[in-house]
A and B are shown apart, each in its own frame.
Chain A
């Protein structure tokens, strides 16, 4: 059995491994190589130099990176706070309603994020769904809340809610009811149960959820473009501009490498610490 397992394991991993090697790992190598090419070239046959990286500091691109990371951090924290009670409900309270909620949230994921963000523009803008009706009924309107940092964070929270919610719910469902019961019987307060039982035991879910939300939000583009009206330039925006209008691939590549190192470092760190077999319910 053992020997057959080994052979079959390797064989059945091959198709996916080949796809990822050819169209995930190889492109990353190409990006890294492009990032050390002289400015404005479109092939790799040049002497390497690090001009693109010095531009990152000289021309203030690090500010976009800080904006992206900052907004990602804030939206991850907000997501954690608003998803916790809901995830708790899904894992411990809801029963059948849990399934309905899951289906509703997953279905929203299948709608292109562009369309959903555009829907928020129509909802929130001056003369939009809320303001328009408010003014028609009461005569009082308000100025457009769009095109600032707050609304970008709102967009990030909205789009990445499922990525926090589901891992959190999975994490909380791993907390045994007996343990909570025992703590309560021994006189622990709600706050103590939360801090000393729920949070530590749900830690794998918390970590996966936070990591996913942070990483995806840090590389997000559509929120700042559609809702933010470029009130803030995020790093993904700079990268896109370098490739398109700027026609400066090495600069875009260098910015990508910096973002990839931060995000990839976090992802590898997190992925290494979680036991997928345990989270996904392996029986043996």
Chain B
């Protein structure tokens, strides 16, 4: 019952068209970022990298980048730790409230983020916390930690509990088992969860909107400028943010490849 040749070709074309569709807007942003004119119109007449120079020298831009980076790094670290344990509770251990826990984790993902941000703003206000970039970390965690947990859980589903049982039978303590067996086995999942956490936090806008107080992350600033008071720096910073994300992904992929090839050459030697 394999689909006919023409159906297969049509599906491939459709797939490629979808990728194109997803990236067209980024293409426009890319062109806009190197247009010399202050008020953009296509086709672009003169190209210039002037706006990149401006962006790199601007202090506002540096503050935005630093704030976004601080939030993303802390969210990543906390998410990785929480997701490691959360995934074990989600997928590995048979405990009483496991299904309830699984459902609780899904709820924040199925939730409008803008509303979640506002709810947190009211909550912070009513317990007397003034929102800054630190409260944005909490907001990001509500959404990102569950996603990270799901990613590690996929890995946790595929590992054999007999390995842990064997270690326990040979007298290993719970801590030793976690450190020597569970953690290394889940590591690939934890690292991809960390990558997801960083990138999702770096690009997140709706959760930051109400929870950063007087501070501002890069996506927030871009939104403010898009909705009112356009600045030619918008496409430039957009491109810089995207390039940053993609470089990180590239780095992760090449590290992964490097580790794998080192391991393979080692096992070939033995």
Chain A residues engaging chain B, CB cutoff 8 angstroms: 1-2, 4-17, 19-20, 23-24, 26-28, 30-31, 34, 42-44, 85-86, 88-90, 92-94, 97, 101, 104-105, 107-123, 127-129, 131-133, 136, 158, 161, 177, 180-181, 184, 211-212, 215-216, 218-222, 225-226, 236, 239-240, 243, 249, 252-253, 256, 259-260, 263-264, 267-268, 270-272, 276-277, 280-284
Contacts and interface: CB of A to CB of B under 8 A. Distances in A.
A107 B246 contact: yes
5 tightest A-B CB contacts, nearest first: A219-B112, A119-B25, A9-B95, A132-B42, A9-B93
25 contacts: A10-B95, A16-B146, A24-B107, A30-B119, A30-B122, A42-B125, A93-B3, A94-B12, A101-B15, A101-B18, A112-B241, A114-B219, A118-B226, A118-B234, A128-B41, A129-B31, A181-B1, A218-B112, A219-B111, A221-B114, A222-B205, A236-B112, A271-B110, A280-B150, A280-B157
Given A5-B93, A27-B120, A253-B122, A112 B12 contact: no
A23 B139 contact: yes
Contact of A112 (B40, B93, B204): B204
A108 to B, nearest CB: 4
A46 to B, nearest CB: 12
A123 B25 contact: yes
A222 B206 contact: yes
Interface residues of B, number: 103
Contacts of A225: 227
B115 A239 contact: yes
Interface string B104-119: 1111111111111011
B203 interface: yes
Contact of B42 (A107, A108, A128, A180): A128
B194 interface: no
Nearest to B119: A27
Contact of A111 (B21, B123, B242): B242
A107 to B, nearest CB: 6
Contacts of A249: 122
B19 A101 contact: yes
A28 B22 contact: no
B111 A116 contact: no
A158 to B, nearest CB: 8
Contact of A215 (B19, B110, B120): B110
- Interface of B, secondary structure class, is helix
A115 B238 contact: yes
Contact of B89 (A9, A133, A136, A161): A9
Given A27-B123, A114-B205, A259 B115 contact: yes
B14 interface: yes
Contacts of A11: 85
Contacts of A280: 91, 150, 153-154, 157
Contacts of A282: 91, 157
Interface in B88-143: 88-91, 93-99, 101-116, 118-123, 125-126, 138-139, 141-142
Contacts of A12: 85-86, 88-89, 93
B41 A236 contact: no
Nearest to A132: B42
